Chains A and B, each alone.
Chain A
Amino acid sequence: MEKIKHNPIVEKLGFNRIILCGVLILMYVFFTVFGDNFAGLPRILSALNYAYFLGFLSLGVTFVIATGGIDFSIGPVMFCSALVSGYCLTSYGVPVALSLVISILVGTLFGIFNGYLVAYWSVPPFIVSMASMNIAKGVASVFTKTQSVSWPQGTSEQGWFRNLVKVGNFPVGLVIFLVFAVICSIILNKTRAGRYILSLGSNKEAVRLSGVNVKKWEMLAYVICGILVGIAAIFFVAAYTTVQPGYGDSYNNEAIAGCVMGGTSMTGGLASIGGTVIGVFIIALLQEGILALHFSKDYQLIITGIIVIVAVYADVVARRRRN
């Protein structure tokens, strides 16, 4: 066992990530055997649709958790972005391209709001999350007058944005998502921002005493999260068309689940974008698999809840052992 762990290739890829990939493959086999018509492209494409928006949420929240914080307003904020921009598109005749920009803008604004309160005013992150979750729902409902918004169909003239998800059967979304994951990984591991975000998650006071403006960098993590949430909204509407105000909470947990499963520590300082990506695929496959087994979405809520509890508890135990 130890030998395998210290094999250079294994070390490079990360032992946990290899295990996660194994889990992913086993799940696929399991659902293929027991699910209805699971094998084949349609199911995979459907799972991917789910993975895109969830993946962006998860990438975003990875940055926040890396600082030792939390953001569980991401689901409702994503819906808020999709609703506000969609309403601009359908009711005010704003062009599609601009609507997409608005979507990202809304997400970013929430990121700035959350980050400023957490970093500069020391408001506990969970309070900020709770507040902005409801503000997001409120803004979305007020803006759309509590109506759902449907984005244009792929066949219509304005439907070009759906090509972001797939062209024919080619999963363009997968390419875009992976490109973003690589960018996030580069930000986290190769730039000053990422270095400081991870370091302050590990030991904020030591970083502050090194003369670093920790408030600025902590806030940046929330802003990056906000931007990614705005992008997630685009992929959500491109795949699922209609958005209803007042919802989005259930995606919080799934995004956090993808993140902590991938090896990001809830206490901050340790984060793996690669792990998050695999974690997201597991959640997406799980969602598709549960449907294929003819269970309702509700089982997914329960299973994700349990996954997060187990993953975080594993982290708690690992930390205790380290000390």
Chain B
Amino acid sequence: MGEVILTMKEIDKFFPGVHALDHVSFEVRKGEVHALMGENGAGKSTLMKVLTGIYKKDSGTIIYEGKEVEFHNTREAQSAGVVIVHQELNMLGHLTVAQNIFIGREFKKGIAIDDKKMNEEAKKLFDRLHIDIDPTETMSNLTVGKQQMCEIAKAISHDAKVIVFDEPSAALTETEIEELFKIIRDLRKQQMGIVYISHRMDEIKVITDRVTVMRDGTYVGTLITEECTKDDIINMMVGRVIYEDPKQKSMVAKDAPVVLKVEHLNAGRMVQDVSFELHKGEILGFSGLMGAGRTETARAIFGADPKESGDIYINGEKVTINSPEDAVKCGIGYLSEDRKRYGIVVQKTVAENSTMATLEKYVKGLFIDKKAEREVSQEYVDSLDTKTPSINQLVVNLSGGNQQKVVIAKWLVRNCDILIFDEPTRGIDVGAKNEIYKLMNKLAEDGKSIIMISSEMTEILRMSDRIVVMCEGKKTGEIGIEEASQEAIMNMATREIS
């Protein structure tokens, strides 16, 4: 490990209503791989976005190569030598590899672009990284892994001195990860500073020199990788005090019937052989880290995305679900994590959204029975305590928590028995959160069965009767609330799969 090349000191960043980064410090040395770890929403990405100029910091200093700097956009950061390899790839699929690497700074020969030279330069880059990719290949023909290699090559072609890898392995196969590690080791040898964001504990042990852990927007500590164990890191990640009481025991009767049974569900890379059962009146928590495949599982069950194989049984009867229409007919309701895109129709009123899934029941002759619609929607506005000036208010004008209640009302009006809540409290303030929790508990008491997908450990422990843990598209564990603990869940959520 060489001298310090980058220091971030006391970085503060506020978002409306959130203190996203609270006096966070972080440093990178030349020739080290520094892991940045933390649960979802701990502030890792925010910190890196502040570094590369995507976000503007509110206070604190960044010292790079001995000078205080502030990058205003990624381009400035790039030309200074600080580059980020994003999790989502910014690729132009129709152009070739070399054309992608040099986009915006093409070599020219007269008025023509010198593709030959670009191919040669790209080849040189790949040789330096010991990667075998044809620079003239069209980008979309490459596997995700190879595309990632191209992103790295692009980063290095900017004469990078600090490279940030944001969950680079999430989409890679085992062999591709091996290749990636070889490259990273090479870069380390060339005295570059490398930041490595990942959830995979085993990788951290293999590739990194130091680990910095963040939690809830604060800096927790830095460890030397060789000197610590996986448990040390997990303890730092989850060491937060849980204010709300976790559920002590399951509220579900031992003999409660199975209402939903999913067997060997497969849908692409993110849903592999998932099986589980849901009992009447149960809240089944789905835990896991970002990209574990929980939302994908829910969407496949709901028929929103096509599935490859697997059987679904409702109340013991096998059903075919090929579209949300089928799912709704089976009594399943889905509350998406992204309400604005998938949940509500913003330019329609509370009443209109409430009956969206049930409109055929509110038709009298040819016309919509607006009186009945108003009555039922008022009924749910009252019973869910939705804060809205009137049921004729456009939902776009409601707060997040109240929009969520409108979506819940939509499925209650439909009288769905199985409800899938995907991140039910995301973007909702604390008070409204508690209300949603109370509501979910009440629904379960009333005999509704709930699948709750959540990335918040406290939420999982507070609400669930039983917890299913997923990791990289596979179910890695199932645990009753009695035995559940943050550590146990985190262990399953980060377990390496061979």
Contact = CB atoms under 8 A, between A and B. Distances in A.
A195 B368 contact: yes
B298 to A, nearest CB: 11
Contact of A269 (B347, B359, B368): B347
A27 interface: no
Given A203-B341, A212-B357, A191 B367 contact: yes
A211 interface: yes
A8 to B, nearest CB: 14
A205 B342 contact: yes
Contact of A210 (B341, B366, B367, B410): B410
Interface in B327-376: 327-329, 334, 336, 341-348, 352, 356-357, 359-360, 363, 366-368, 370
Contacts of A207: 345, 356
| A206, A209, A213 pick with most chain B CB within 10 angstroms | A209
B302 interface: yes
Contact of B348 (A186, A191, A202, A213): A202
Contact of B363 (A192, A198, A206, A213): A192
A297 interface: no
Contact of A199 (B304, B327, B348, B366): B348
A192 B369 CA distance: 10
A6 interface: no
Nearest to B355: A195
A290 interface: no
Contact of B342 (A196, A209, A270): A209
A186 B367 contact: yes
Contact of B325 (A191, A192, A195, A213): A213
Given A192-B359, A198-B348, A199-B352, A211 B342 contact: no
A211 B357 contact: yes
Given A191-B366, A192-B363, A209-B302, A203 B345 contact: yes
Interface residues of B, number: 30
Interface string A187-220: 0001110011011001101111111110000000
Contact of B360 (A192, A198, A203, A269): A192
Contacts of A269: 345, 347
A167 to B, nearest CB: 31
Given A190-B367, A195-B368, A211 B325 contact: yes
B324 interface: yes
Contacts of B327: 211
A186 to B, nearest CB: 7
Contacts of A192: 359-360, 363, 368
A196 B345 CA distance: 10
Contact of A205 (B341, B356, B414): B341
Contact of A202 (B325, B343, B345): B345
Nearest to B352: A195
A270 B370 CA distance: 19
Contact of A211 (B329, B336, B363): B329
Nearest to A268: B347
B326 to A, nearest CB: 8
A206 B345 contact: yes
Contacts of B324: 208-212
B10 to A, nearest CB: 34
Contacts of B357: 210-212
Given A191-B368, A210-B356, 18 more contacts: A190-B367, A192-B359, A195-B359, A199-B345, A199-B356, A202-B345, A202-B346, A202-B347, A205-B341, A206-B356, A207-B356, A208-B323, A209-B304, A209-B324, A209-B342, A211-B329, A211-B357, A212-B324
17 contacts: A192-B363, A192-B368, A195-B352, A199-B356, A203-B341, A205-B342, A206-B356, A208-B304, A208-B323, A209-B304, A209-B334, A209-B342, A210-B356, A211-B328, A212-B324, A212-B357, A212-B359
